[in-house]
Amino acid sequence: MEIGKKKIGNFKEPYIIAELGSNHNGDMELARKLIDQAKDAGCDAVKFQSWTKDTIFSKKVYQDNYFLDDDYRNRQDYTLEEIVEEYSVTESELLEMKRYCDQVGIGFSSTPFSCQEVDFLCGPLNSNFIKVASMDLNNLGFLKYIGGKFLPVLLSTGMGSLAEIDNAIETIEATGNKEIILLHCVSVYPPNDHEVNLKNLEMLRSCYPEYPVGFSDHTVGTPITLAAIACGACAIEKHFTVDKNLSGWDHKVSATKEEMAFIVQSSRRIIQALGSTRRIVSAAEKKKVSSFRRSLVAARTINKGSLITTDDLDCKRPGTGVEPRYRDLFIGRMARRTIAADELLKLEDI
């Protein structure tokens, strides 16, 4: 599978997505700054979220004015409806951002929340992929509509049981679309370390061996992200900000440019370091054999004609002589010559 020109696969250099979400705070100048910094950090793509106040919440939620656990909880100067409207991105703004991504040379996508937004994403925006939010894992009609667009689908599995993941995959597959990337996800912002459960990457690969598995990351900092890459994550999606202290929904759990650059650079080293399951001694390591390993030496002077005993033998560097594993060949054998203390032994000495 490829996204853009990058091949996607488990235990390969991961496709790294800077999740801008609503961290632009509705300001397209800030969005441009986020795109620039994501590009500078080495990310493969940025991702927006395509929603309006009419496609994300019902009237009841606005009437209840229930804020999620974020910077705006219990605030009296904004209503939820006002914040959602302010942070939403219009179609014209998304087009503008797509053109800007093309200009700077970074991949673009968005998470749609309605069929109309899917159409716009796959049509005028010409997105590289479609990201399905965890909230829509059980929204089978929506998944069927998305699958029918035949773009790679990144499917977040947060809050989902295995049965729900099965149903979601089967629904997309039924459209004929087999371009699916599963994203292990914990829908907590941020989760505690014991809740992350990175071994689910292995579990998902085992359950769905035909599909690559990545990680939609809501943890703070870089350690868990790097651990996921070491666990074989094919893609990393991580919230991205220019300043963790900005007012907004996800800034505090987001990576900065410096953190994201560290993740990108480290991911390349990690994949190189993982190497192969075959036991391989590198050429550089083989060069160390003569200087690092030991050889059989005389622990004391061994006189010609005497029988060699255990006490006559020792093992010391360098490793250019007889290997220590041949010690028993010498014990009980007669010395053909006088061997000085600390002298390397040879097979012809017995």
Digit-coded pLDDT (tens) for 258-296: 999 999 999 999 999 999 899 999 899 988 998 999 999
pLDDT tops 50 at residue 307: yes
Higher pLDDT among residues 125 and 50, named by residue = 125
Average pLDDT, the chain: 93
Q: Is the peptide bond before 191 cis (omega within 30 degrees of 0)?
A: no
Within 8 A by CB and 6+ apart from 13, the residues are 267, 268, 271
Rounded-to-integer distance, Cα 42 and Cα 269, Å: 14
Angle at 27 between CA 25 and CA 31, to 5 degrees: 90
Q: What is the pLDDT of residue 66?
A: 66
pLDDT tops 70 at residue 100: yes
Helix (H, G, I), strand (E, B) or coil at 253: helix
- Alpha carbon separation from 90 to 8, 106, 264 (Å, rounded): 31, 21, 30
pLDDT tops 60 at residue 79: yes
Comparing 51-55, 228-232, 301-305, 306-310, which segment has the lowest mean pLDDT?
51-55
Q: What is the pLDDT of residue 63?
A: 80
- Alpha carbon separation from 149 to 39, 114, 188, 270 (Å, rounded): 27, 14, 30, 34
Positive or negative: CA dihedral 53, 57, 60, 65: negative
Q: What is the pLDDT of residue 71?
A: 46
Q: Could you tell me how many residues make up the chain?
A: 350
End-to-end Cα spacing for the chain = 63
Structural domain spans, the chain: 2-52+88-274, 283-349
Rounded-to-integer distance, Cα 215 and Cα 75, Å: 32
pLDDT digits (tens, 9 = 90+) for 173-225: 999 999 999 999 999 999 999 999 999 999 999 999 999 999 999 999 999 99
Position 53 confidence tier, pLDDT thresholds 50, 70, 90: confident
Burial of 324 (0-12, 13-18, 19+ CB in 10 A): middle
Dihedral class, residue 17 (left if φ above 0, else alpha if ψ from -120 to 50, else beta): beta
CATH for the stretch 2-52+88-274: 3.20.20.70
pLDDT digits (tens, 9 = 90+) for 239-257: 999 999 988 778 889 999 9
Rounded-to-integer distance, Cα 67 and Cα 115, Å: 25
> Is domain 283-349 annotated with CATH 3.90.1210.10?
yes
Per cent of the chain over pLDDT 70 is 97
H/E run at residue 311 = none
